[in-house]
Each structure stands twice: as C-alpha cells, then as structure tokens.
Amino acid sequence: MSFQSYLKNIELKTGKTPEDFIILAKEKYFLENDQLKPTVRAGEIIQWLKEDHQLGHGHAMAIYAFIKGKRE
C-alpha cells in the first residue's frame, strides 16, 4: 500500500485529514515551531494515535511520518 493510500484510508476511518493530525499534535504539545520537539519520541505519538484515534500501528506510523514531514 502506498503512503498516500494509507493517508486516504486514515481520513476515511477517522474523518480527519493528515493536516488535522498536525493541529492535534500541536494541541498535545508534541510540536514546537511546526517541528517535533526533540524530546518527543515516536512511541509517544504512536501510542497517542492508537489510543485516542484507534489507528493501527501502520496507520499510526504513516501519520507520524507525515508529522515529521514526509509527503510522498
């Protein structure tokens, strides 16, 4: 499955775009100046996405990658 397919499936499942997850990550104080804080670990974000948004591991990793700047 392509990265873009993951993102589309996440939007269908949650009703949230990848950009919405960036906003939510800012609200959780994971980001500073639109970048992940150096103290934030991938596991924290993955756990948050699994618990609060019921994403599976692969989909959570796709959102984590998007938050880090991956677009393709």
The Cα 32–Cα 27 span in angstroms is 10
Instruction: Tell which residue, 10, 19, 8, has the closest CA to residue 49.
Output: 10
| Mean pLDDT computed over 52-63 | 97
- Please tell me the distance from the alpha carbon of residue 56 to that of residue 50, in angstroms, as a whole number: 6
What pTM was estimated for this model as a whole? Answer: 0.93
pLDDT tens-digit series, residues 12-55? 999 999 999 999 999 999 999 989 999 999 999 999 999 999 99
Chain-centre distance of CA 39, in angstroms? 17
CA 48 to chain centre: 9
Q: Residue 1: its pLDDT value, please?
A: 77
